[in-house]
Chains A and B, each alone.
Chain A
């Protein structure tokens, strides 16, 4: 039987199965197991949990591992979106106060009256233990970025058992410091874990122990916790069972005694589990939203989970053939004006995306977004886009704009753009996503109306990442013109959305080599100024300067949640907080 035919028959069988299940099952307010004592949560497709230690390398400390880790060892400052808005969730934090010095060059933290699960108090020494570990092993630490923490933390001074002071190398924006740096600290049980007595050896000892996934439920090392849960079982295949920590004395008491975190190899497998009712908190894709009623009939609620992220397509400003065109602001404006974000968000994303016009996420209300970004400086209009090009020395020839008036004058193509240059560009885009394919087709179509030829090449996302690196014009790898990592490749920010990595000259994730001195200064100011004005100016500057093609920001996940499960908000920083989940009916 042909592969296509096999797929068809499989699809038909699944359809029939769905209808049958939809008809047979009813709504309920209890977990899939029928009790209020447990919950089945679906982990993202193709993700297998493999780390619980709160410190580690970037390969281990991804969002989902970190969520599990935070349920076991509570962070010093839980700065996230778990309360509905991004801010400091003190109930889920070990610290109760952070007092910044008047000159913003140091902070004194107050710890709550808290205890480890073995009864010992949580003290400044436990925070110092984390501090020393990270200082001594910063190159291996997942959160390390040169010049940032722990480089900019110059000293740690213990005031008493529940107070300590961290000094910085210069004045910093307290909100940025709290949200992006201090939030990374996890007090660790120094009395139980500091066995070698040396920060380097401790790091190796703990990381080696953490590599033994099979020992997470049995190794005594992992029994001293501070969070609302303990590990009951942790299989190498990815299933994790968390049990409520009876000794927990923090503010976020676990609402459900047993939490089952379930792995799935594909999104389809997860959807089938949802349809069969074995998952209480799962997800569907945007293209499945028109099946919302079938899930509702099965006793679920569909709840979009918006992310604190932006989505964009970087230009390669160093591309040998199109780099000079991309460097012209009018050309970038013409491209941006050819993209109908409102319709893309509504139609292609089924209403599960919001248009984004700048470097600050717009799915949530925040004080960081400038009025300029909010107002959309370049509204969709292919005729206006066309005028921008024809007004700068381009003429449409055979449906494609061609530079006919080279030069640097106001009505000429601009520096480096040769006569006869055609406005044609290619994107290397993520394959395997219908939503991405549809969005690219729509963009291709609207750019064609402006006279810009936009060709699409697709590849698996890892291939896109490897083929679109930062490069210089003379390098052979610099042939890429535009790249798109897909809707699941949106850039998720820390709580304070700075652009140092994305848009600062030579920033680590500044793939297209965008560089602007004024923007660099604004980015630096946003991390040091105590006013929101700096970040708003940065927002406005990049909304106008278009370092990338801004695209609609899709929801992080379309959650499907069993009716009766509540008491929580979905954290826009893409973490999950099982202690907040409760069966309400």
Chain B
């Protein structure tokens, strides 16, 4: 019995991960994406230690100043230093994006794995719930929740996580359906292995690639979603901000030549979202067994 178990592919992922890492590092776009994400994380979380600004109080004597000496990226309409605000807003955007993406992936993974592994009526009920959830636009739910409660960082993470887990759950369920009918899983079950052991030893390790790829896309989507909600004025409340809120506030100056209120947050959103998507693409290729030679 022991010999049989040792021949199952549970040991494979370790070697595969080394191979996957090699494949990932060969993907220049993915590596560049990773670099961009790391740089933005440093910018948002370490930057304020090096470039200290007051983002709590307004200063109406310093409004709409262009980039220059004391304000490298100028100031906004209430006198906040724009570079400092970009770091401050980035903290919220990145934190909400990462946490909501991870939360959505965790919920989706548990839901999808349970549905896929259990099968039968439970699978049918759980997946109809997912179908129903996907039919309701996430933005609609976010707007309703924002109207009822005062959005804060934790609230946004929870709400975004709760509306974003549906797609990962479908992916993981599909993966689980495939894996549970594999010979090594069937063998484990036939030899007396428990469901839990089958999930721990085979289903989850072999779904990691799908989950990780889904997570990166979830993070990108969550950053976009929080930007969108804030753009509509329903994100975190002042004095806090995020890149979407900054963009929304800056767009009124679109015809006034104050590019520093629009370009930096817009660029930050685009770069970070593209970077996470590039990482996701790189990871998908790295984990794809069909490309391995």
Contact = CB atoms under 8 A, between A and B. Distances in A.
Nearest to A459: B147
B266 to A, nearest CB: 5
Interface string A2-17: 1111011001001100
Interface stretch (B55-63, B119-127, B280-288): B55-63
Of the listed residues A288, A294, A445, A446, the one surrounded by the most CB atoms of chain B closer than 10 A to its CB is: A445
B16 interface: no
Given A3-B231, A432-B233, A287 B78 contact: no
A11 B256 CA distance: 11
A274 B133 CA distance: 44
Interface in B230-250: 231-234, 237-239, 244, 247-249
A442 interface: yes
Nearest to B220: A2
Nearest to B245: A437
B234 A458 contact: yes
B172 interface: no
Contacts of A446: 58
A463 B150 CA distance: 13
Given A444-B238, A445-B57, A347 B254 contact: no
Contacts of A440: 238
Contacts of A448: 56-57
B239 A444 contact: yes
A14 B270 contact: no
Contacts of A445: 56-58, 78, 239
A4 B238 contact: no
Contact of A437 (B147, B232, B238, B255): B238
Nearest to B267: A8
A269 to B, nearest CB: 14
Nearest to A287: B252
A434 interface: yes
A35 interface: no
Interface residues of A, number: 42
B237 A455 contact: yes
A455 B231 CA distance: 19
A329 to B, nearest CB: 27
A7 B56 contact: no
A426 B254 CA distance: 31
Contacts of B256: 288, 290-291
A441 interface: yes
Interface residues of B, number: 34
A348 interface: yes
B57 A7 contact: no
A426 B150 CA distance: 10
A4 B228 contact: yes
B273 interface: yes
A437 B249 contact: yes
A25 interface: no
A266 to B, nearest CB: 13
Contacts of B224: 2-4
A4 B77 contact: no
Contacts of B60: 340, 343-344, 347-348, 442
Nearest to A9: B266
A431 B255 contact: no
Given A2-B224, A3-B228, A5-B266, A14 B78 contact: no
B261 to A, nearest CB: 11
B7 to A, nearest CB: 48
A449 B54 CA distance: 13
A585 to B, nearest CB: 28
Contacts of B269: 2, 4-5
B216 to A, nearest CB: 16
B227 interface: yes
A317 B122 CA distance: 53
B150 to A, nearest CB: 5
Interface string A416-444: 00000000001000011010011011101
Contact of A294 (B255, B262, B266): B255
A206 interface: no
A4 B231 contact: yes
B253 interface: yes
B251 to A, nearest CB: 6
A211 B159 CA distance: 45
A440 B247 CA distance: 18
Given A4-B270, A340-B60, A448-B56, A437 B228 contact: no
Contacts of A437: 233, 238, 249
A292 to B, nearest CB: 10
A488 to B, nearest CB: 15
A15 B255 contact: yes
A270 B231 CA distance: 21
Interface string A285-322: 10110110010000000000000000000000000000
A7, A441, A458 — which one has the most chain B CB atoms within 10 A of its CB? A441
A263 B90 CA distance: 40
Nearest to B243: A4
A432 B224 CA distance: 19
B161 to A, nearest CB: 20
B239 A431 contact: no
Given A431-B234, A432-B233, A456-B238, A441 B255 contact: no
A18 interface: yes
A434 B77 contact: yes
Contacts of A11: 251, 254, 262
A187 to B, nearest CB: 46
A431 B233 contact: yes
A387 B185 CA distance: 75
A148 interface: no
Nearest to A294: B255
Interface string B35-55: 000000000000000000000
Given A2-B273, A5-B270, A449 B255 contact: no
A457 interface: yes
A288 B255 contact: yes
Contact of B249 (A294, A348, A434): A434
A15 B257 CA distance: 9
B238 A441 contact: yes
Contacts of A3: 224, 227-228, 231
Nearest to B237: A456
B248 to A, nearest CB: 8
Given A2-B273, A442-B60, A445-B57, A15 B254 contact: yes
A432 to B, nearest CB: 5
A385 B52 CA distance: 29
A442 B58 contact: yes
A398 to B, nearest CB: 14
Given A2-B269, A442-B78, A8 B262 contact: yes
Interface of A: 2-5, 7-8, 11, 14-15, 18, 285, 287-288, 290-291, 294, 340, 343-344, 347-348, 426, 431-432, 434, 437-438, 440-442, 444-446, 448-449, 455-460, 463
A-B CB proximity, top 5 nearest:
A431-B233, A445-B58, A11-B254, A445-B57, A347-B60
6 contacts: A5-B269, A343-B60, A348-B77, A440-B238, A441-B238, A448-B57
Given A2-B227, A442-B78, 6 more contacts: A4-B270, A438-B77, A445-B57, A455-B150, A460-B147, A463-B147
